[in-house]
Structure 1
Amino acid sequence: MFKIMMSLSLLLNLFSSGEAAQPEEENNESEVSSETSSDNYGVTASHPLAVEVGMEVLENGGNAADAAVAVSYALNVVEPFGSGIGGGGQALLLPPDKEEPMVYDYKVAAPSKEDWDGDVTGVPGFVKGMDTIHKEHGAKSFEELISPAIELAEDGFEVDPVLAERLDGAKSRLSVDDLSHLYPNGEPIEAGETLKQSDLAETLTKIRDDGPSAFYEGEIGENFAEAVPNVKESDLEDYEVTEPVPVKGELNEGTIYSASPPLSGVPFVQSLKLAEYMDIEETKDNESEFAHVMSEISRVTNNDKINKIGDPSSKEIDEEELVSDEYIEELADEISPDEPSTETAADDENAGDDHTDTTHFVVVDKDGMMVSATNTLSNFFGTGEYVDGYFINNADKYFSKLSNSPNSYKPGKRSRSSTAPSIFMNEDRTIGIGTPGGGRIPSVMAQVLTRHFYFDESLEEAVEALRFYGRDGTFYAEPGFSEEVLEDMEERGYGIRVNHHTMFFGGIQALEVDADEGTVNGIADERRGGSWDSSNKEEE
């Protein structure tokens, strides 16, 4: 670990000394005066090496956009199952001189093929997404930002238990014989061993040298199209990053901004507003009542998502109306007061409720620029197909088979997703937050922030609290709930299922910036082996 940290430091210091290519002039337009500086900055992610990479960028004069690019590429290396150049994502970016965040949508898009035929792989947006964020906001050269990821892939890193577990769990659907670096002697590489990914290092080096064109127009793209017959090379060339507006919800505590459709910012914001409207603080000392109300909120908002949310390029969506006070009152009328309702909207799609995929991170720099991003291959390892050192997404699996669904397949569309990268703001603080967790993401995030806002629990306490998920009359619970609570939920009519898989209930990553003191506090959920660091962490 120390060797890796030293080598990254030397590499970044070399670049910052002026020996590397300097960024184009347009990349400096986002810089602000030092008058807004707090001198504090931080990174939280699901892997400590990605946190180290991000902190090194910030320590050497990079801003949050730079760190977000570096962290994203580093996660591609150390978490090859969760995200990377074969997939996409969405990021909320709060510029230091703006009152509201911007959205960068680089989610996987459907190819130009007219007939879906159940094809699962779409056009990746990751590389163009990182390029767009860097060009519009970055201060460092791209070569400097991707080089730590190349070094991690080439020189190797110590495998952690999460990666070892993911490889073991995916053994039946991966081509083990062709992945000898991941499966030496046909068995998953063990925690503590060193993983080197020479093919990935070569691919990232081409992207470093030639930019996005290396992926979307060059040999890498040709190999992708050859491996995925439903995607043409022209589909890769035509991919575009979009910049929609975030979903915005006004709460008593402040303003929550979240992911734009087809991601799940709407149901997440609806969940928080419903909890507030229904006086959720009154359930603080009644755990089973809290669990029931939040489970019903999850059901109602998920039904609304199925009926209303899809890619806005194909169906106009009035996000403001869907999170308005009047609409929240209408949704509240659908909540069953005492027992679980099983009135669940059907959309004939794979909702992915058993999946624990995706990865989330948050970065903030000394000037207050914040990035809250969720990247994904859809399932862990995507399709499981491996090309040029990376895994290919299966995002198109999540289109609905119903032609009248807002989530039906159409060339160029982006399928619905449960992810919800978010930023909360008021005059006292700013919080970037998000989580993996499949279909449970809006529910998990709503539980955490509801406890924090309305139960007066600290963010740490809210993240550590036991989690649950109600669906179709079943109460999925983390181990640790009292027999009294489980019996009460059963008496209400719930089926009880205790889930011992720690990542089933997500892995919150969050950073909180105090407006007065400028301090940065981080949250890294132990359920996903998360990590965080800040320039003021040792002073706390």
Structure 2
Amino acid sequence: MFERRAGRTVAPRRIARWWCAFALLLCTAGVAFAGGAKGSETIAPEGAAGRQLRPSASADRAIAVTAHPLATEAALEMLRRGGSAVDAAIAAQLVLNVVEPQSSGIGGGGFLLFFDPSTEQVHAYDGRETAPLASRADRFLDADGKPLPFFAAVDSGLSVGVPGLLRMLEAAHRAHGNLPWAELFAPAIRIAREGFAISPRLHALIARNVERIRARGETVSRLFLTAEGDPKPVGARLKNPELAATLEAIATHGADAFYHGAIARAIVTRIAQDPRPGLMTENDLAAYRSVVRQAVCATYRARFRICGMPPPSSGGVTVLQTLKLLERFDLAALSPDSPEAIHLVSEAYRLAFADRERYVADPDFVAVPVRGLLDSGYLAERAQLIDRERTLGTPVAGQPPGVTDETVWGRGETVPFPSTTHLSIIDGAGRAVALTSSIEHAFGSLLMVEGFLLNNQLTDFAFRPVDENGRPVANRVAGGKRPRSSMAPTMVFDANTGDLLAVLGSPGGSAIIHYVTQTLIGLIDWRLPLSDAIEQPHFGAQRSATTWVEAGTVLDTPEVAAALTAKGHQVRAREMASGIHAIVRTAPLRDGTPAPLANGLRGGRWLGAADSRREGVAAGF
């Protein structure tokens, strides 16, 4: 395990100095990526660029943890002006569009949880992309009825969903913002116009995708490549005046400037001109609406109430199912790095992912049995399938309460990739935001419009609309439908007092579920300080006998592999580039009792930390 670190406040003026040191370290050490082809068990394309432990940050009033130092600075700027957590989240997200263009932006979508302590309510904002209304279930099948090659679908107009991020941010701002909308855009506009230094991570991702970038034409190549067609080097200043102009228009005229008029026409035209054109129309953009849904919540170990995003994200349900399946086991008695712990947690993942594949999809199109999937009796029965000595291998989905034989869906597979970002923010009034957003694959579809990249989120749908038995797949394509996601913005509360205890989330494709779940187990069962919970070596499983362990960690040893293999696991070492950005409460609860997730850390009201596998920073005041 990593050395525990005491929290300390991070002043914004110091973030830039840390960032320079971080960049120098990575340039000196070099950048390594593991390759991977199509398949749900391949290594993800947006890999890690080295690791650098950065100090956690304690705060008495407000705190922000985002995926880039400049985004954290923007969040703190808004918080210091009296902005709400939503204001700070919007400013940070817009900056991330500029400095982390491979991961998220206004050409994509996201999910946002907002907690207001004055009402004790958790609001769940759905800004997931939608399929154009003209889409059909066979969208990703060729003339012979076979699925298209995955990357042929990704790098095409076919993959682009109607972006939802701006409508979601607009809805959250109208309900919970303090500062004027236009003010929130100022940092991103300034950075896009003046430029920023390309980080080692961004450079490495450009290099990894250089052939894709070259193939997409002059507009996107000019932004990321030199005149000679090579990746722009670390430290080169990347300016994006087109994006600055786009953000200025949206700042002045609101999200309507994106969903109507010149920007909307440019989006539709670019998609239509692709060699594999999409079906998006200006009416699709004009008709897009963000949805406010009911957060999905459940208790864990009686003491903790955990809330996440409901469908069409599978993140909330699958994290909660995994935790509830583990309640009958005394995880606290096991070492976090032990084969026994890896086995039990992986078995719970297998059962939860089997249900996820069958039942979770857009609830406006499919009756998702959320209540049944989290039913205590159902999960207790499913947990009995976990054998301490032998893996389940490839389990079948269960049949939760409310599901009949006639309503069981066919099994559908997708290949979600982790070009995603997450930020966690708490303001001076204790209001909190957990926001996870994405454009899906690294650099999305690589279709660039008005300075921003368009997503490829429609490849999160099942390519085959029916399974091998002819049953329709819940997550099949349909016009206006939202593809299933794995994004898992999460909040933890004290079940007795209602106090907010933690805010967290991560990028990572379908492995987001593993990263968030493992962090929660680290905090709750293994009583780890926040940084140690985040820095745990990762492992995971889905719906097969394959169990992943994070390459180059204490889990990647012959001894661990042998112990798991003896239980039937097929062990694979792989890069697991999480990006957990989390905040925990360190101040006593309202009843005077110690904060249960502070785990020995004292001082301040909140403590934030960022995953060393990416380039995030925590800061507060």
User: Normalising by the residue count of structure 2, what TM-score does the alignment of the two structures yield?
Assistant: 0.77
Contact persistence 1:398–1:416 (CA under 8 A): yes
Q: Does 1:92 align with 2:143?
A: no
- CA change 1:4–1:533 in 2 (3 A) is closer
**Counterparts in 2 of 1:197 and 1:95: CA distance versus 1, 3 Å:** same
CA–CA distance in structure 2, aligned partners of residues 3 and 445 of structure 1: 28
> Relative to 1, partners in 2 of residues 1:4 and 1:207: Cα closer, same or farther, differing over 3 Å?
farther
Structure 1 residues 495-506: aligned runs within 5 Å: 495-499=570-574, 501=575, 504-506=576-578
Equivalence for 1:320: 371
Q: Secondary structure at the match of 1:526?
A: coil
1:271-290 equivalences under 5 Å are: 271-284=322-335, 287-290=338-341
Q: How far apart, CA to CA, are the structure 1 residues paired with 2:336 and 2:201?
A: 35
Matches of 2:516 and 2:15, distance apart in 1: 33
Q: Structure 1 residue 494 and structure 2 residue 565: aligned?
A: no
Structure 1 pair 176–312 and aligned structure 2 pair: CA distance change class (3 A): same
* Cα separation, partners in 2 of 1:444 and 1:250, compared to 1, 3 Å: same
Unaligned runs of 5+ in 1: 6-37, 536-540
Tell me how far apart the structure 1 counterparts of residues 328 and 189 of structure 2 sit (CA, whole Å).
49
1:168 aligns with 2:207: yes
- 1:288-437 equivalences in 2 (<5 Å): 288-344=339-395, 347-352=411-416, 355-400=417-462, 401-403=464-466, 404-426=472-494, 427=497, 429-437=500-508
Deviations 1:298-336, CA, capped at 9 Å, x for gaps: 111011011111111012224233212112112213334
SS at match of 1:76: helix
What's 1:442 paired with?
Answer: 513
Q: CA deviation at 1:82?
A: 0.5
Quote the sequence identity (%). Answer: 31
Structure 1 residue 491, shift from structure 2 partner: 2.3
Counterparts in 2 of 1:351 and 1:327: CA distance versus 1, 3 Å: farther
1:512 aligns with 2:605: no
Q: Which residue of 2 aligns with 1:60?
A: 81
Indicate conservation of the 8 Å contact 1:111/1:232, yes or no: yes
The residue aligned with 1:253 is 303
How far 1:39 moved relative to its partner?
Answer: 5.6
Which SS does the other structure have where 1:109 is aligned? Answer: coil
- What is aligned with 1:468? 539
> Which one of 518, 524, 528 corresponds to residue 457 of structure 1?
528
| Offset of residue 344 of structure 1 | 5.0
Q: For residues 434 and 519 of structure 2, what CA distance do their matches in structure 1 show?
A: 17
- The amino acid that maps onto 1:157 is F
Q: Give SS of 1:277's match.
A: coil
Q: What SS is found at the alignment partner of 1:528?
A: coil
Moved more, 474-483 or 374-383: 474-483
Distance 1:176 1:294 in 2: 45
Whole-Å separation in 2 of the counterparts to 1:402 and 1:330: 30
* Aligned 8 A contact 2:326 2:383 in 1: no
Q: 1:369/1:518 Cα in 2 relative to 1: closer, same or farther (>3 Å)?
A: farther
CA separation of 1:208 and 1:380: change in aligned 2, threshold 3 A: same
Structure 1 letter corresponding to 2:304:
G
1:454-479 CA-partner distances (Å, limit 9, x unpaired): 11212211111111122422222121
- Cα distance in 1 for residues equivalent to 2:454 and 2:491: 29
Q: Distance in 2 between matches of 1:301 and 1:100?
A: 27
Structure 2 letter corresponding to 1:376: S
8 Å CA contact 1:248–1:320 kept in 2: the answer is: no
CA gap of 1:445–1:330, structure 2 versus 1, over 3 A, is: same
Please show how residues 179-218 of structure 1 align to structure 2 within 5 Å.
179-184=221-226, 185-218=228-261
Counterpart contact for 1:350–1:398, Cα < 8 Å:
yes
Match of 2:292, SS state, is coil
Q: Are the equivalent residues in 2 in contact too, given 1:362–1:509 (CA < 8 A)? A: yes
Instruction: Name the SS of the counterpart of 2:327 in structure 1.
Output: helix
What residue is the counterpart of 2:284 in the other structure? 235
Q: Higher helix proportion, which one?
A: 1
SS where residue 181 of structure 1 aligns? helix
Higher relative contact order, structure no. (Cα contacts within 8 Å, ≥ 6 residues apart): 2
Q: Which runs of 4+ in 1 moved over 6 A?
A: 1-5
Q: Name the TM-score, length of structure 1 as normaliser.
A: 0.88
Aligned residues: 499
Secondary structure of the corresponding residue to residue 435 of structure 1: coil
CA RMSD of aligned residues (A): 2.1
Distance in 2 (alpha carbons) for counterparts of 1:4 and 1:534:
11
Q: Provide closer, same or farther for how the CA distance between residues 46 and 141 of structure 1 changes in structure 2, counting only shifts above 3 A.
A: same
Describe the SS at the equivalent of 1:376: strand
